[in-house]
Structure 1
Amino acid sequence: MRTPSLFRLLAGIAVAVPATFLLLGASPASAHPMPHSVVLLDVHDTSVTAALELPVTDLQTAAGTTDPVALRTYLTAHIRPVTTDGRPWTVTVGDIAMSRAEQTSTGPYSEVTATAVLTPPAGADVRHFTLDYDVIVHQVVTHIALVSVRQDWAAGQTAGASSVGTVQIDIRSMTVPPLTVDLGKGSAWRGFVAMVHLGGEHILTGTDHLLFLMILLLPAPLLAVRGRWRTPVTPRTAVTRIGRTTLAFTVGHSIALAVSALGHVEFPAWPVEAFIAASILVGAVHAVRPIFPGREALIAGVFGLGHGMAFSFTLAEMQLSTGQLALSLLGFNLGIELVQLLLVALALPGLLAVARLRAGAALRVTGATVTAIAATGWLADRLGAPNPVARAADSAGSHTTPMLAVLAASAIVAVLWGARTRRKKDQTGAVAVSPG
């Protein structure tokens, strides 16, 4: 009697084991991972803005539509932030658009992007709340929404994204647990320090701003005679010229930055960017043949206005309150100036040394030519003609460490060369006056 039972057991194992291996060895493509949602929070003084990135396929399954009006109603019903004591926030869904996106695990797909403004009731803490969110997840049980903070000025976060948590269904209760959002304590000091860092980073990676200043300083140690750069001026005169030009550029972009940011004056981006490219091209021509000798400071101040307008775009994107904007303006500008002074200090010895070399003219013309090519590429790109020259020039801003290393090495070599030259002069002078 036991034999048939044993036979059936062995037969079952014989079938089950190969089947298990077949399942385990099945192609991963059959799993077909689906894209997840992304919720990016921008934290302001009195509200939180949520930027939503929602895969179209799953959203249509959950909402039953992709009509913008219907989606606005759907999103408002499924985004329910509340205070820590249970009072509801106000949710206002803004623009809704369709776009293409790509995630590492899924490849390209269509998504809906939307913006929702979450406003707490009077007196509630904007930095601590509960996010009751179940967009798509309430219908598509395999869907996941990743929630992150993209910008939080008071916490010193102005770039990147820090994870808050994940929204997904609890398979045991088949409910979607709300997400607790605790952003900790924010402060004006942390926001100010972050803006100093952002300003320094902006000038360091802003190749066009940096190149404009450097190309104006290139002929500063030289005297213009009859339409050509001739003999070197004294080191003191050169330092004075460089200091005056740097200060004028600072004043120019600071004025434009303040007016644009505090006055909420908006400028179209492309004319400003094209103006900056043109200013670099003018500076490059001037470095080869004097166009405005002795008036470099004036030109730096005038062109600096355009560069300041470009700086203001960074602050405008952050949508800061008036108090935050005033501190940010100060910190951002301070960061720009600190890095700018550092770079000028590193470049100064090299500029003085090159002006006294026999090959100085060739080096100056070569540097100006390369700069002019880059500026021409930028100008064409910003006028609507993309080109590889502009892309190569833009990529240079991502290599700041090698640039700083080269400037530092050049400064050291220039200082050593100057000291050696002075020693030789002193020795020659001593020999000349020694008694025969």
Structure 2
Amino acid sequence: MRRALITALVVTAALLLGAPPAAAHPMPHSVVLLDVHETSVTARLELPSADLDLARGGEPVRTYLAAHIRPLSTDGRAWTVTVGEVAVGSAEQTSTGPYQEITATATLTPPAGGDLRHFTLGYDVIVHRVVTHTVLVSVRRDWAGGRLSSSSTQVGTIQIDNRTMTVPALRVDLGDGSRWSGLLAMVELGAEHILQGADHLLFLLILLLPAPLLAAGGRWSGSGGPRSTVARIARTTLAFTIGHSAALAVSASTHLDLPAWPVESFIAASILVGAAHAVRPIFPGREAAVAAFFGLGHGLAFSFTLAELRLSTGRLALSLFGFNLGIELVQLALVALALPVLVAVARTRFGHRFRLTAAALTGVAAAGWLIARLGRPNPVASVADSVGTHPTVLLTALVGAAAAAVLILTRRSAATRTRHG
């Protein structure tokens, strides 16, 4: 009996010593995302609902948040804090799993002469009551600092100091900002946007596909000379540029607020029309006019990206120029790669099959996009979207095809000179 009792005590002690403490279960942390504008800073707050309810003790959410966010200028002057609408939703963090989240937006405005790029963020939301809580503070958008990508940059963490049991303020140093940094960031954003927007690239490429061919009897038959092909491609590309640039400038400068789905549906329809034209000429010789018209819809889609940045009038003109420049640089590079491929393929016996296959695949993708953007998700649209998220693969294939096409054209030209020599 004594031996059994001793054994039970030893097993129980081992289980107790080996079991993890109950307090070790990870809790969701808060996130503060800063968007730095020309005269203010917007803070998006993502807060775990359970911890927030515990900390505020029944006080209204907006009142509580305004009292616990206290930014100061470097000279000690207080900023104005205005808390906007509050929303409830679901969220998930890798370490904690799903939970209910409160989101809110606070506008932080410095006093006259205050420095937006260097300030102290006094912030103890939740942390003053839940001592194990952590707040991650990151910069999401900062035009003057050249930060406009989708990924945020962490600037610090806020948590309680266990020695003093106080919550130290976070010193935010965003470095120097300039118009040059903003311009370069917009060029990069425009380039990224066109590369990741498979529908924009696909429309331009499918419209250029029959450029080396001549229309006769309602069909594409025979190929034109290299000079006429280059001219048609140049006109089409320029017209598309003019169309989307005009729509982008008007919609961004007038803050035109349009729902996304009709614009995105219009773009899908434009690709479908381009694919049909590549099979049989619908508007031979008028590709430039069609490109300009459909370019208006693509420009409206581009404007959605600029609208998210909430740019002031002073920065908007420079941003429009930089964003357009990034788009055009990528377009010109792609056209330069596609041109030798189109010319070389049009002169082979496989040219007809290549054109029909490319048009069919593009048409299927466009139809899938159109159906999805009208409210009917489908696997075709999902596959087309997944392909568009890997521009490196597409670019690599295009570069390889362009190199092979240049080699073929060079050899044919040399062979022609030899025969005539």
1: distance between equivalents of 2:227 and 2:323?
Answer: 31
2: distance between equivalents of 1:15 and 1:361?
Answer: 84
Question: Aligned-pair distance for 1:425?
Answer: 2.1
* Counterpart residue type for residue 241 of structure 2: T
CA 1:261–1:58: 2 relative to 1, 3 Å: same
Alignment match, 2:347: 356
Alignment match, 1:40: 33
CA 1:143–1:282: 2 relative to 1, 3 Å: same
CA 1:61–1:363: 2 relative to 1, 3 Å: same
Alignment match, 2:93: 103
Superposition map of 1:384-423 within 5 A? 384-423=375-414
After the TM superposition, list the runs of 4 or more consecutive aligned residues in structure 1 that deviate by more than 4 angstroms.
Answer: 14-24, 27-30
CA 1:262–1:16: 2 relative to 1, 3 Å: farther
* Counterpart residue type for residue 252 of structure 1: G
Alignment match, 2:120: 130
Pick aligned residue for 2:144 from 140, 154, 158: 154
CA 1:406–1:29: 2 relative to 1, 3 Å: farther
Superposition map of 1:44-193 within 5 A? 44-65=37-58, 70-159=60-149, 160-193=151-184
CA 1:24–1:344: 2 relative to 1, 3 Å: farther
Alignment match, 1:5: none
Alignment match, 1:3: none
Superposition map of 1:233-248 within 5 A? 233-248=224-239
Superposition map of 1:293-372 within 5 A? 293-372=284-363
Asked if residue 278 in structure 1 is aligned to residue 269 in structure 2, the reply is yes
* Counterpart residue type for residue 97 of structure 2: G
* Counterpart residue type for residue 377 of structure 1: G
Question: Aligned-pair distance for 1:187?
Answer: 0.4
* Counterpart residue type for residue 98 of structure 2: P
Please list the CA deviations of residues 183-220 of structure 1 after superposition, one character each: whole Å capped at 9, or x if unmatched.
11100000100100110111111100000000000001
Alignment match, 1:203: 194
Question: Aligned-pair distance for 1:428?
Answer: 2.6
Alignment match, 2:3: none
Pick aligned residue for 2:279 from 279, 288, 291: 288
SS at match of 1:157: coil
2: distance between equivalents of 1:151 and 1:28?
Answer: 40
Asked if residue 194 in structure 1 is aligned to residue 188 in structure 2, the reply is no
Please list the CA deviations of residues 50-82 of structure 1 after superposition, one character each: whole Å capped at 9, or x if unmatched.
0000000100100124xxx91000100001111
Alignment match, 1:229: 220
Task: For structure 1, list consecutive stretches of 5 or more residues without a partner in the other structure.
Answer: 1-13, 431-436
TM (norm. structure 2) is 0.95
Question: Aligned-pair distance for 1:388?
Answer: 1.1
More moved, 205-214 vs 157-166: 157-166
2: distance between equivalents of 1:303 and 1:29?
Answer: 61
Asked if residue 31 in structure 1 is aligned to residue 24 in structure 2, the reply is yes
Please list the CA deviations of residues 22-48 of structure 1 after superposition, one character each: whole Å capped at 9, or x if unmatched.
456324887221000000000011100
Task: For structure 2, list consecutive stretches of 5 or more residues without a partner in the other structure.
Answer: 1-6
Alignment match, 2:4: none
* Counterpart residue type for residue 147 of structure 1: V
1: distance between equivalents of 2:243 and 2:16?
Answer: 69
SS at match of 1:155: coil
Higher gyration radius (CA): 1
Question: Aligned-pair distance for 1:95?
Answer: 1.1
More moved, 88-97 vs 69-78: 69-78
Alignment match, 1:262: 253
State the identity %.
67
CA 1:222–1:136: 2 relative to 1, 3 Å: same
1: distance between equivalents of 2:111 and 2:269?
Answer: 50
1: distance between equivalents of 2:361 and 2:78?
Answer: 59
Question: Aligned-pair distance for 1:373?
Answer: 0.4
2: distance between equivalents of 1:301 and 1:25?
Answer: 71
How many pairs align? Answer: 414
Question: Aligned-pair distance for 1:262?
Answer: 1.2
Alignment match, 1:217: 208
CA 1:41–1:277: 2 relative to 1, 3 Å: same
1: distance between equivalents of 2:9 and 2:117?
Answer: 54
Question: Aligned-pair distance for 1:228?
Answer: 0.3
1: distance between equivalents of 2:162 and 2:13?
Answer: 25
Question: Aligned-pair distance for 1:429?
Answer: 2.7
RMSD over aligned CA atoms reads 1.8
